[in-house]
Structure 1
Amino acid sequence: MHVVIQKNEPIVSSQIDSIEIEAGQKADGVLFLDKQFKVVEYPSEWLSHEANHRRISEQTVVTYSRNMRYFLEYIDDRMSDGWSLDEKLLNVHLSLLESWVRYQIDDLKLEASTVTNREMTIRAFYDYFTDKTRHKNPIENNPFPSDPITSKPNNKQVQAVSVRDVQNLMFCTPYERERTLLQFLLDSGVRISELPRVTYGDVQEAQNFVSGSYITDGIDKPAVEAGYAALLIHGSKGRQDSVKERHTVITKPTLDRLKAYHSSPLYKRYQRLYADQNTAPIFFNTEGRPFTKASIAALITRISKRAEKNGTLSKKAHAHLFRHSFAYLTLQDTGRGHDFLDRLVFVQKSLGHTSIKTTERYTNIPHDIYDSIVNKDGEIQSRIEKMQLLVDSTKTRIKLVDKK
């Protein structure tokens, strides 16, 4: 099986000699090819339609195409050799779908959540071709039952890094810039794909934010208590891969640490290259360029390996764990909101979750996270207190000769 995904870009030349390309034409679609490199018509039509009409994001197109490929390979091996893949798709029945689900769980040992994801993809394909609003449907009845075939995934506890873990990670890099970046991830809850879009101007607005005033994002206007500030995030996962703005709330200790980095010659050396210095990113890499999603992930992996090697890390750290930690810390933050439900809704808005059900995963807090947010008397500390302790225990001076 082969899959070709073409993004919405100008076509330079045709791979088919008989087709002429006009200037300005663009391609946007997906082709599924069988072992003989013949087009598999139905899945190609379905996913090209979804992609072309911007009903799903580019990343979802990739996920759907991968899941469909797995399914096509499965039915190709188990259904009549006299049928094409399109004909096999027309003849799929419930018992085969149930066998496919069992095969993934029992033979491939996949997690139920992964199998559910794959099932939802194939279900979407059959929903498309059994939609009664379409004039011509090659499939009369959807082979899927109304309820999911895959058992509901177990509600596993969401893993995160503790404040103590982050402190130990900081001790594994001598550079204040990298320590500040780790604290910013922990205290803001941003995705690493969003961090490069946070600008110096955004942070300046947060630093100038008056306690007790309101966030004016046109959607929600939550009050911000003393010691916290609203920070604009140019978020990921908007409709049609657009940037979806939201606000998070960051603490004063983290903003002060950022301010010290921004005042250093190391930062100003590259910021001055921007005509409008407010548009400069909040972190520069060694070459004076903005960090990328990949470089942030690589940085965390590199520091994590050092901490694992010296035995100071309780679990392997990766970038998304910081986002989970932000949620846990905020839900237990006595300095934020009137009650737990208030904080839960706040976490939903800060993380950019569409549904509160996604945020509810964080209501069962792991023991290591809980232990890291209480003091020696067992009292829960506010996020401000935890961030200040991080600054006090890990902040180091940026020297004139430092390059990172």
Structure 2
Amino acid sequence: MDNSVVISAGKKLNITKSVAHEDLDGYPKVIFLAEGVAVFNERIELLPLISDFLTDYRRNYSDQSVKTYANNLRYLVKYLTTYDDNHVGSKRDDCLMTVHETEIQKYFDYCRNNKNHNDVEKPSISGKTLSNRDATYNRFFSEFLCNPPAGYKLMREDNPYGNGSLVVAAKESLIKPALFNDIEALLLVANNEREKCLIQFMYDSGVRRGEVESILQNSILQLSRESRKSIIVDYSTIQISSDYVAMEIKGNKGRGREAKFRNTVVSKETINRVQKYHSTLEYKKQKRKWGNTPIPAFLNQNGNPYTEKSVSKLIKRLSVRALKFGLINTMLSPHKIRHGFGAMLLNSEDLGKTQLDRLLLLQQCLGHQSLTTTEGYTKIPIGVWDKLVDRNGIALKKYQLMRKLKNRTRLGGDK
């Protein structure tokens, strides 16, 4: 259902297929949603408990997180009202008012099993995904129904999560970064400089796919003129060498519904490559449509900015092409490229005197709230580093890798 989760600020929703039409004559075909979150089941019935929870939750978290939580809760409700004898026939999301912890555990067992109750084959769900759903349900019951925020009434006394998690935590998985050779492969199969510049910039900056659209041409121009800039990390100043620039990134929306800004370290080699692309006839023609509006640094063939989805599609398309030519062994993704940035920075000894210095810098560049999250990058298998050394076995600096990448992937006839 396309409108199962509606995050609205005055949006009209077509509900002509709602089951409410079966019982109520004259039920409206279109409803107008006020500010907030509305979650619907497959029968296009509003799920009020979940909607209220996520309307409050959205004040401090991103819309993508809201959608993930909404779907996790919808999955539980659908299971309970379809397969659990105590809740079959329960209306909307009323089952969440009485569901017991053992019934939620049965749902997790159902997810692990590769057959449903009719012995029909279905895909089983990984432990990591189950842990994510478990965390959603824990927050819903512990911080909303059973311990409501200001402005909401207490909905139920007993908490199925009163004793903590209901699933065994998923085993910690090692970060699998895109390596230098992987990125080089994507650039080699790209047909134009705009795609090459975008992927090299993502690899060199660690930006998320959803942040690409906010990178502006004017920011690249200003950075190309800078020679030195410092980054402040945990009350200490890390001086970045003249081979890099510190770039401010407008992060995805977080707490308080406000943009989160952070600094990351980008090699001058990459900035210069992007700046050179901006001087091409193609880019100059595309930017005319923007007039006096701030111009995105990366525009697709139609002169539109790269969105979160279009970035993913681009990397998927190039990965398929690189796999076909035998240049890579597995599909790449925007997040693997971001992981590749982390691995590269930690191995670049000119970006901090110690591993801890580089770890703190990486935390700042990636926008992690907790250093524990960043520490996952220190557990990357040592074999990965073999890809980041020169012929003499000496580890290449980050800017040297970017120079190498630029020189080996340029096309004389780039558009």
TM-score by length of 2: 0.84
More off after superposition, 304-313 vs 131-140:
131-140
- Map residues 188-199 of structure 1 onto 2, 5 A cutoff: 188-199=205-216
* Structure 2 CA distance for partners of 1:171 and 1:367, relative to 1, 3 Å: farther
Aligned to 1:56: 61
1:79 matches 2:85: yes
Is 1:234 equivalent to 2:240 in the alignment? Answer: no
Counterpart Cα distance in 1 of 2:258 and 2:216: 18
Rate the CA distance shift 1:280–1:43 in 2: closer, same or farther, 3 A: closer
Shift in alpha-carbon separation, 1:184–1:123, aligned structure 2, 3 A: same
Cα gap change, 1:217 to 1:201, in 2 (>3 Å): farther
Is the contact between residue 8 and residue 28 of structure 1 (CA under 8 Å) also seen in structure 2? yes
Superposition RMSD on alpha carbons, in Å? 3.2
Which of 361, 368, 384 is 2:399 aligned to? Answer: 384
Aligned counterparts of 1:307 and 1:13: Cα–Cα separation in 2 = 42
Tell me the distance in 1 between the aligned counterparts of 2:384 and 2:102: 44
SS at match of 1:193: helix
Letter in 2 for 1:29: V
Which secondary structure does the structure 2 equivalent of 1:144 belong to? Answer: coil
Number of aligned residues: 393
* Aligned counterpart for 1:142 among listed residues 159, 163, 177: 159
Hey, what does 2:284 align to over in structure 1?
268
Deviation string, structure 1 residues 108-148 (Cα, Å, up to 9, x no partner): 53221110111111122212111177784231121114332
Q: Distance in 2 between matches of 1:230 and 1:86?
A: 49
Q: Are the equivalent residues in 1 in contact too, given 2:45–2:92 (CA < 8 A)?
A: no
Structure-2 change in CA distance of 1:130 and 1:242 (3 Å): same
Equivalent residue, structure 1, for 2:318: 303
Question: 1:172 is aligned with what amino acid?
Answer: V
Query: Letter of the aligned partner of 1:9 in structure 2?
Result: A
For the pair 1:183 / 2:189, whether they are aligned, the reply is no
Q: Secondary structure at the match of 1:236?
A: strand
The corresponding residue for 1:337 is: 352
CA displacement 1:332-374 (0-9 Å, x = unmatched):
1111012111111111111111221221111122456312101
Contact 2:248–2:264 under 8 Å retained in 1: yes
Q: 1:121 corresponds to which residue?
A: 136
- Give the aligned residue type for 1:6: V
Q: Tell me if structure 2 keeps the 8 A contact 1:329–1:383.
A: yes
1:159-308 residue pairs with structure 2 within 5 A? 159-211=176-228, 213-215=229-231, 222-276=238-292, 279-308=294-323
The C-alpha deviation readout for 1:70-122, integer Å capped at 9, x for no partner, is: 11122222133475565533332222222222322344532211101111111
In structure 2, how many angstroms separate the alpha carbons of the residues matched to 1:7 and 1:271? 32
Q: Which amino acid aligns with 2:312?
A: A
Whether the 8 Å CA contact 1:161–1:369 is kept in 2: the answer is no
Conserved? CA contact 1:176–1:398, under 8 Å: no
Structure 1 stretches lacking a partner, 5+ long: none
Secondary structure class of the residue paired with 1:194: helix
CA distance in 1, matches of 2:389, 2:11: 59
The structure-2 alpha-carbon separation of the partners of 1:18 and 1:241, relative to structure 1 and needing over 3 Å to count, comes to same
Match of 2:105 among 93, 98, 107: 98
- Overall identity of the aligned pairs, in %: 27
- Whether 1:5 and 2:5 are equivalent positions in the alignment is yes
- The aligned counterpart of 1:30 is 38
Distance between the aligned counterparts of 2:233 and 2:392, measured in 1?
39
Instruction: Answer yes or no: is the 8 Å Cα contact 1:185–1:322 preserved in 2.
Output: yes
- Which secondary structure does the structure 1 equivalent of 2:209 belong to? coil
2:273 match: secondary structure: helix
Aligned to 2:147: 131
Matched, 1:47 2:46: no
Shift in alpha-carbon separation, 1:114–1:265, aligned structure 2, 3 A: same
Normalised by the length of structure 1, the TM-score is 0.86
SS, match of residue 249 in structure 1: strand
Label 1:27 to 1:65 Cα distance change in 2 as closer, same or farther (>3 A). Answer: same
Structure 1 residue 34: deviation in Å? 7.8
User: Which residue in 2 is equivalent to 1:156?
Assistant: 173
